[in-house]
Chain A
Amino acid sequence: AQTVTQSQPEMSVQEAETVTLSCTYDTSESDYYLFWYKQPPSRQMILVIRQEAYKQQNATENRFSVNFQKAAKSFSLKISDSQLGDAAMYFCAYRSGRFTDKLIFGTGTRLQVFP
């Protein structure tokens, strides 16, 4: 069975600085997707970034980028130029490449941003 581990329950960063959130996963599949979701206090689950396992290039979305290390089964999220609005819970998630709806989530990292 696949598992997702986020080993940092809480992280903090100062405004305008850079922070990296860690995620490791375990799978025997070669075709899969990885996601980072942001959950602000409103509880809405917001997609931050997505990575297809078959793509070697790391995904980027504006200030958000990932470091995808397939052999090490590591998928970290880097937030550059942190803003107060980035404060939230961040969840790493895995989905098989087969046609499936099942997302497997990590336990989350709470990110605090200080002015």
Chain B
Amino acid sequence: NAGVTQTPKFQVLKTGQSMTLQCAQDMNHEYMSWYRQDPGMGLRLIHYSVGAGITDQGEVPNGYNVSRSTTEDFPLRLLSAAPSQTSVYFCASKTGHETQYFGPGTRLLVL
């Protein structure tokens, strides 16, 4: 199993550009989520999904869009990037009451 994979590892964007952060898992987990990590802070939940076709907002959803068309994939879209979205983004997945597995993270810099 590859576990949770994220691409790209690092990305530089200009303000106003759009991009999609990819997340995939091969463990057949029903739960998937996106977190962001800013300096001096723990991870904060952006969006999550409890299964294909079902998504919901977390603590800091503004400026981000998600969809879940398959069990395996959960992409995060930035429609118009802003410097405040400079962060490290983590995708995670789990099943039932089990523990979350985290991806390696994507470092995003918005200029």
Interface centre among B40, B43, B96, B105 (most CB of A within 10 A): B43
| Interface assignment of B7: CB less than 8 Å from any CB of chain A | no
Which residues of A are at the interface with B, using a C-beta cutoff of 8 A?
4, 33, 35, 42-45, 47, 50, 91, 93, 97, 99, 101-108
Cβ of B31: which chain A residues have Cβ within 8 Å of it? 101
Rounded to whole angstroms, the CA-CA distance of A45 and B44 in the bound complex is 13
Interface secondary structure of B, over-half rule: strand
The answer to whether A102 and B48 have CB atoms under 8 Å apart is: yes
Size of the B side of the interface (Cβ < 8 Å), in residues, is 26
| A43-B104, A45-B90 known; A102-B58 Cβ under 8 A | yes
Rounded to whole angstroms, the CA-CA distance of A59 and B90 in the bound complex is 26
| Interface assignment of B109: CB less than 8 Å from any CB of chain A | no
